[in-house]
């Protein structure tokens, strides 16, 4: 399982704590102690050579916006489309799921109410074929 690290926070606070790659490894290792979880700092231009070399990818969170014009984002979106075309599973956390949505043709917009941390109730208005219309998610 490859970990695509997108966190652009380079503040002193972030530097004093484990990075996102280390946190995801620590969370996953007990479930699969013999598995490798290579971390790719995609925000620094470090990408896996072949998507098929991994059983799946986790795309981490980030304070960056998927709507930024950073060159690494174009590469990330291409990798996402390549992984989907190859049937390689993806999991996105926060920024990661926004990147998946945008790469696959969705839209990501600023919340007029500002940042939200935690859970909110959402309603599916225009479902994808695999969704049920009118679902409420909490």
pLDDT tens, position by position, 18-69: 999 999 999 999 999 999 999 999 999 999 999 999 999 999 999 999 999 9
User: 127 lies in a domain?
Assistant: no
Q: Which domain holds residue 13?
A: 2-111
User: 132 lies in a domain?
Assistant: no
User: 118 lies in a domain?
Assistant: no
CATH code at 73?
Answer: 3.40.50.880
| CB neighbour list of residue 107: distance below 8 Å, 6 or more residues apart | 101
**Selected residue with higher pLDDT from 126 and 48:** 48
Give 125's pLDDT tier (boundaries 50, 70, 90).
confident
pLDDT for res 119 = 82
Please give the Cα distance from 31 to 40 (Å, whole number).
21
Please give the Cα distance from 27 to 29 (Å, whole number).
6
Select from 87, 66, 88, 86 the least CA-distant residue to 77: 66
Return the residue matching tokens 């996953």.
28
Please give the Cα distance from 121 to 90 (Å, whole number).
23
């Amino acid at each position: 399982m490859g970990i695509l690290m997108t966190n652009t926070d380079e503040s002193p606070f972030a530097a004093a704590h484990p990075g996102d790659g280390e946190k995801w490894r620590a969370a996953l290792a007990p479930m699969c102690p013999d598995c490798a979880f290579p971390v790719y700092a995609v925000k620094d231009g470090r990408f896996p050579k072949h998507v098929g070399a991994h059983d799946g990818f986790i795309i981490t969170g980030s304070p960056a916006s998927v709507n930024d014009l950073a060159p690494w984002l174009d590469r990330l979106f291409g990798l996402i489309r390549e992984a989907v075309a190859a049937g390689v599973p993806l999991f996105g956390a926060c920024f990661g799921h926004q990147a998946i949505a945008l790469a696959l043709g969705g839209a990501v917009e600023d919340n007029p109410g500002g940042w939200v941390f935690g859970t909110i109730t959402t309603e599916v208005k225009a479902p994808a074929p695999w969704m049920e219309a009118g679902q409420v998610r909490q």
